[in-house]
A = this chain, B = another copy of it.
Amino acid sequence: MRHDHLITSKQLSRADIETVLDRAAEIDADPSAVADRHANSVLGLLFFEPSTRTKMSFETAMKRLGGSVIDMGSIESSSVKKGETLADTVRVTEGYADALVLRHPKQGSATMASEFVDVPLLNAGDGAGHHPTQTLLDLYTIRENAGLDDLTIGIMGDLKYGRTVHSLAYALTNFDTRQHFISPESLQLPREVVYDLHQQGNTQIREHESLDDVLPSLDVLYVTRIQRERFPDENEYQKIAGEYQIDLETLEDARDDLTVMHPLPRVDEIAPEIDDTDHAAYFEQAHNGIPVRMALLDILLENNSDADTRGEDDE
């Protein structure tokens, strides 16, 4: 992977993705081999909106590499409150840290911020924009459970607003996949995303309003949360959300080796009775955030220290 920053999964070629997933698999197999690998490195966390899960996962990944983490904390108590620009915030903090993780509510902010810093910057979500490390851990989980080629995947729930879903669908076009999108009409994939996916090479795209037709053919079912706040009417929400929830009965027609995924947190989308079946891969999926983010940090910190060395040779 020859990048300084990780902003979007669109920047990643099939080879880049495989480099990260292979490294993650190596680390997963023997974490102790990298336990002191970045012992003198510091990772800076800049979260301009709350996201405990992603933050803890990055923090754990860095510490499992032997490194340290510093956290800007909530924006309530930060210089941002005093009117500091994002450009200034990242230029100050790059003096503290060897890499930065940025989450920001504004789309495009990660790209902008990356232009002001020399240390690697990882986008951990920029509004309706991208969240590439979630995509990579999703791909890793799919690869481990079903393989990434000759894959039939169903992606169900809120396909309109879910940036997780758009990033994943886009990344899967690097592989030989059949993608089925299952949602109520009001939460379908945006037309420009469908258009974009059709432009890519290896993927077939189908849209459905019901899971029934496609379930028996699926290797993977990726469920997302339908958010209450998308619906002006509570009854309407209850009725629609109910149709896109799964339980043991729903899965009767599924293949025995169907893998069920969910980015978590879930509310009612997946009944707890599924947790103990072999279908359930969502906790494993969350746990995969650690080796995948370790792999990414390892690669980017390594690239960067190579770059530093090259710089010194030139002088």
Binds B, one of A16-24, A52-60, A182-190, A237-245: A52-60
User: Judging by beta carbons under 8 Å apart, are A73 and B52 in contact?
Assistant: yes
User: Judging by beta carbons under 8 Å apart, are A93 and B283 in contact?
Assistant: no
Q: Mark A85-104, 1 if CB is under 8 A from B, else 0.
A: 00110011101110000000
Contact residues, A66-89 vs B (CB, 8 A)? 68, 70-74, 76-79, 82-84, 87-88
User: Judging by beta carbons under 8 Å apart, are B70 and A286 in contact?
Assistant: no
Partner of A60, one of B42, B74, B76, B283: B42
A40 within 8 A of B: yes
A230 within 8 A of B: no
A68 contacts which chain B residues (CB < 8 A)? 63
A307 within 8 A of B: no
A265 within 8 A of B: yes
User: Judging by beta carbons under 8 Å apart, are B267 and A83 in contact?
Assistant: yes
Partner of A286, one of B57, B72, B95: B95
- Further pairs besides A79-B264, A87-B272, A95-B287: 20, Cβ < 8 Å: A35-B40, A42-B63, A50-B77, A50-B78, A52-B72, A53-B79, A53-B92, A55-B73, A56-B93, A60-B96, A60-B97, A63-B70, A74-B77, A82-B267, A83-B267, A84-B266, A84-B267, A95-B283, A95-B286, A96-B290
**Lowest 9 CB-CB distances: which A-B pairs, in order?**
A95-B287, A50-B77, A84-B265, A79-B265, A63-B68, A52-B78, A60-B96, A83-B267, A35-B40
